Amino acid sequence: MNLLDRWVRTALWPVPIRTLILRKLLRRWPVGSFQTRLALSAVDRPANAWCTYYAAWEARALGYKAVTVIEFGVAGGTGLLNLCKHKREIQRELGIEVVVVGFDSGTGLPPSNDSRDLLYFWPPGSFVMDRAALEKRLAGQASLVLGDVTNTVESWQPREDAPIGAIIFDLDFYTSTMAALRIFNQANILPRVWCYFDDIRGYPGNAYTDRIGEREAIKQFNCDPRRQALNDHLSPAYVFKGLPAEPWHQDIYLYHRLGHPQYDICLSGEEKHQLHLD
């Protein structure tokens, strides 16, 4: 992207220029709490940060000492390294361990004959991972689960003391996303899971609709009668309604498992909410 393109995108951004300048400054010189900078989107990849922070917050409120954050679709690894960066700050601020796990085939996008996989846009073999280089950069900060997600999502288990609390979905294909959504069959999971879907919106070349890609996978997940046993669902997150619009807000979803044994536990403890007359 050239300088003129960057200027045009900045000028068209739905938040004031002064806010963009403040964010840039806070990203360069981070001061204040992580939560405050997150509220200003003054962190790199704020969608990743939002899901990770509030997963850790929920886990801590429920009495856990650790929480697991997953990325489906690691590719080059920039997103996974970003999660590791966020986890360090969140661990310091909330006093809870964040376990980061990345799922990927390691060999790029697989061949497909399902038209819902946007074959007109995604060539097979795209996004091959340089495993050696990535593992060197990770240096034990996160673990990789390599192989076809159809198989690995069923065989992998989170650490017993670290339930799943946030998931980043970036698998591009409808079929791969459908396979990854089976992660919600896990028992060791928080009652509410913050989710980021990277391919909900895009560019004219993507030409996304509700009947292809991740949107179709989410719809099929919610319509599956087998979900009734867990009484669960995926929904767009409405926490951003009324706030200044950010493009990434559209990509945040919430998984709710109403049948979870901890679902009805009040996260604010015994402190009652009260409104007083002025």
| pLDDT, tens only, 219-246 | 999 999 988 889 999 999 999 987 777 8
Residues 105 and 137 in one domain: yes
Residues 21 and 124 in one domain: no
Q: Count other C-beta atoms under 10 Å from residue 7's C-beta.
A: 10
User: Regarding beta strands 66-72 and 97-104, do their DSSP bridges make them parallel or antiparallel, or are they unpaired?
Assistant: parallel
Residues 205 and 242 in one domain: yes
Residues 115 and 196 in one domain: yes
For residues 179 and 150, the answer to whether their CB atoms sit within 8 Å is yes
As to burial, measured by CB atoms within 10 angstroms (0-12 exposed, 13-18 middle, 19+ buried), residue 121 is middle
Residue 269 falls within a domain, yes or no?
A: no
243: domain CATH number is 3.40.50.150
Domain boundaries, position 31: 12-43
**For residues 68-79, average pLDDT:** 97
pLDDT, residue 13, reads 58
Residues 123 and 29 in one domain: no
**Residue 169: CB partners within 8 Å, gap ≥ 6?**
72, 73, 177, 180, 195, 196, 197, 198, 199, 214
**DSSP assignment, residue 271?**
P
**For residues 162-187, average pLDDT:** 97
Cα(242)–Cα(252) distance, rounded to whole angstroms?
Answer: 15
Q: What is the pTM of this model?
A: 0.90
For residues 142 and 84, the answer to whether their CB atoms sit within 8 Å is yes
Structure-model confidence comparison of residues 138 and 40, the more confident one: 138
Residue 276 falls within a domain, yes or no?
A: no
Residue position matching structure tokens 């590719």: 75
Q: Count other C-beta atoms under 10 Å from residue 46's C-beta.
A: 22
pLDDT, residue 272, reads 78
Which token pair is 152? 């690995």
**For residues 26-35, average pLDDT:** 80
Residues 73 and 167 in one domain: yes
Residue 6 falls within a domain, yes or no?
A: no
Query: Is the pLDDT at 11 greater than 60, yes or no?
Result: no
User: Regarding beta strands 252-257 and 189-197, do their DSSP bridges make them parallel or antiparallel, or are they unpaired?
Assistant: antiparallel
pLDDT confidence tier of residue 14, bands split at 50, 70 and 90:
low
